[in-house]
Amino acid sequence: MLVDSHCHIDFPDLIEDEAGVLARMVDNGVTHALCVSVKLETLPGILALAERHANVFASVGVHPDNADCEEPDEERLLALAAHPKVVAIGETGLDYYWHKDAPEWQRVRFRTHIRAARRSAKPLIIHTRDSAADTIRLMREEDAGSAGGVMHCFTETREVAEQALDLGFHISFSGIVSFKNAEALRDVARYVPAERLLVETDAPYLAPVPYRGKTNQPAYVRHVAEAVAAARGETLAAIAERTTQNFFRLFKDAQPS
């Protein structure tokens, strides 16, 4: 039993083959998936998907890369998060890789999401790229720890992992942990306490070895879990059980079906 804690099944590459994507999850022992929002304009598609499938959950949020889209305020996020299949706020955070000018609107938007997460008592899904120091600083300033959540698709250093863990956050690994040149990230995977580990695909992006470069899908979270298990010297079964337990404890509004 495995859970893909972060994917984008609503994106064109995957939603065109919705039945196949869901069937291959079953074939690979992937029982549930969390389909993560990146902008409010596409949220209705995610909610409809989650309504069609008991084992698909949803989040509400606006990705830090998206500049030209509806800017949510706290009230709007809270209203949308009241949908019964919404189990998290995000993905949110900072991304100075795609926005090298480190715009103030990203930090304003991130603060809004943290406040909405605290008010809704739902955990945060945090994206950070080339912006770890500011991400951690804002998490501290806005008391993100009282909402809790996950650092998704983690690619930062062990020091950043330690700071996020100190705030009570979970660390989620994607297919990057299986890449040949990712030895430093596998060190982080060894370091994270078992009760804070999650696995994800971030599909359709970042397919794990042996599918690197192809379209990713939630079924492949099995290969992510295998890579994490190998790095930690544990069995796939142990990592699967642990990350599934962690998922349902963190995303407490997600009902296993």
Binding residues for Zn ion, per CB under 5 A?
127, 202
Distance of CA 93 to CAs 22, 63, 102, Å? 29, 7, 12
Distance of CA 26 to CAs 7, 192, 233, Å? 16, 28, 26
Smallest gap, in angstroms, from Cβ of residue 38 to Zn ion?
7
What are 127's strand-pairing partners? 93
Asked whether the beta carbons of 202 and 253 are under 8 A apart, the reply is no
Nearest residue to Zn ion, by Cβ distance, number only: 127
Of 154 and 196, CB closest to Zn ion: 154
Smallest gap, in angstroms, from Cβ of residue 65 to Zn ion?
8
Smallest gap, in angstroms, from Cβ of residue 23 to Zn ion?
22
Of 4 and 202, CB closest to Zn ion: 202
Of 11 and 211, CB closest to Zn ion: 11
With CA atoms as reference, report the closest residue to 224 among 74, 56, 15, 6: 6
Report the alpha-carbon distance of residue 125 to residue 147 in Å, rounded. 10
CA 4 to chain centre: 9
Of 93 and 148, CB closest to Zn ion: 93
Smallest gap, in angstroms, from Cβ of residue 11 to Zn ion?
10
